[in-house]
Amino acid sequence: MMAPMTKKECGALGERLAGKHLESLGHIVLERNYRAGHLEVDLITKAKDGLHFVEVKSLVAPIAEDPTSKVDSAKRRRITSAALHYLNCEEVGSSLEVFFDIVTVIFEGSTHTITYYPSAWIPMYT
């Protein structure tokens, strides 16, 4: 049996596993923990269909609620703002489609389950 993980260790391991999972699906990881001031995006990947801004939620079982519910409207706004900063500051090409995804990693004992939610939300610009 694995020793208990701290929240920080759980998050870091979950982000590494999520990145590997997305790579297995054909994504190229461009950034990990991209920061724009106090804003952050866990993973930024490029795939055939475009650029993906990915929020990773890592939890240890048992869990009481759907992990995607932790990506509330305020969190989505912060990720969208960080994505806009990235798009304005990096040479990524203006013709790329942009997606906002969630990957959940649930740890249970020595195993884990990864679930990918492509296009988990579409930002509303006002």
- Name the band, by pLDDT with cuts 50, 70 and 90, for residue 103: very high
Predicted local confidence at residue 1, as pLDDT: 47
Q: Distance (Å, rounded) from C-alpha 126 to C-alpha 113?
A: 36
- Name the band, by pLDDT with cuts 50, 70 and 90, for residue 91: confident
Question: How much is the mean pLDDT over the chain?
Answer: 91
- Name the band, by pLDDT with cuts 50, 70 and 90, for residue 126: very low
In this structure, whether the domain defined by 7-121 belongs to CATH 3.40.1350.10 is answered with yes
Predicted local confidence at residue 3, as pLDDT: 65
Q: Distance (Å, rounded) from C-alpha 32 to C-alpha 16?
A: 9
Q: Name which of 57, 56, 58, 52 is nearest 30 in CA terms.
A: 52
Model pLDDT for residues 43-81, shown as the tens digit of each residue: 999 999 999 999 999 999 888 888 899 999 999 999 999
Predicted local confidence at residue 5, as pLDDT: 82
Predicted local confidence at residue 85, as pLDDT: 93
Burial of 1 (0-12, 13-18, 19+ CB in 10 A): exposed
